[in-house]
Amino acid sequence: KKAAKEPRETFHLQCYGEPLPRFENFVELDPHIRDIFGIPVLRMHVAWGDNERNLIKDAAVQAAEMLEAASMRNIRVHSEVHLPGDANHDVGTARMGNDPKTSVLNQFQQTHDIKNLFVMDGACFNSPGCQNPTLTIMALAVRSCDYLKDAMRKGDL
């Protein structure tokens, strides 16, 4: 009865971490499943490693310590690792770089292999980093569009 009469203010703190880029995590075209247009759909191979599990556990411990230091009470810690794609920025399927052997895109997000194909999204990142990537994606797209416009004027594409 006493607990029912006490005020129930809650505070939720959720931590996010950066997964390491791993060759075991990749995307491929599904050889069996096609969309309504007959195009193969993507098959994702993603799993968290020890680094990600340890990162989340450590973040939970540190979050609890911060809440205790802020005089919070009745702290409950959950350190489950959510499934990939739950609340993150999926990036990294077309790495940007100078070497076609180790990257898909050049600095203008143009594919090394197909001259008139540009991939202007978060695929160029090899890792999501620690902040929302939208503004960086937009800046890269503007730079790529400037390059594309000039290349088209010169007849290079």
Q: What tens digit of pLDDT does each residue of 91-128 get?
A: 878 999 999 999 999 999 999 999 999 999 999 988 77
What backbone phi and psi angles, to 5 degrees, belong to 26? -155, 170
Maximum CA pair distance of the chain? 79
For residue 84, pLDDT over 80 is answered with no
Q: Verify that 95 and 130 share a domain, yes or no.
A: yes
Q: State the total domains in the chain.
A: 2
Q: Verify that 101 and 45 share a domain, yes or no.
A: no
pLDDT value of residue 20: 81
Q: Does some domain include residue 44? A: yes
Global pTM reads: 0.61
The residue among 155 and 26 whose pLDDT is bigger is 155
Of 88, 116, 149, the domain-final residue: 88
Contact between residue 110 and residue 117 where contact means Cβ atoms under 8 Å apart: yes
Q: Does some domain include residue 1? A: no
Mean pLDDT of all residues belonging to the chain: 87
Of 43, 63, 88, the domain-final residue: 88
Average pLDDT of the segment spanning 68-86: 81
Q: Verify that 65 and 78 share a domain, yes or no.
A: yes
125-141 b/e (C-beta count within 10 Å ≥ 16 → b): bbebeeeebeeebeebe
For residue 7, pLDDT over 70 is answered with no
Q: Verify that 102 and 70 share a domain, yes or no.
A: no
What backbone phi and psi angles, to 5 degrees, belong to 98? -90, -25
CA-wise closest residue to 150 among 117, 114, 108, 106 = 108
Q: Does some domain include residue 2? A: no
For residue 2, pLDDT over 90 is answered with no
For residue 88, pLDDT over 70 is answered with no
pLDDT value of residue 76: 86
Question: Residue 53's domain spans which residues?
Answer: 7-88
Q: Verify that 60 and 103 share a domain, yes or no.
A: no
Q: Verify that 155 and 93 share a domain, yes or no.
A: yes
pLDDT value of residue 97: 94
Q: Verify that 37 and 93 share a domain, yes or no.
A: no
Q: Verify that 106 and 121 share a domain, yes or no.
A: yes
pLDDT value of residue 85: 66
pLDDT tier for residue 26 given thresholds of 50, 70 and 90:
confident
The residue among 144 and 74 whose pLDDT is bigger is 144
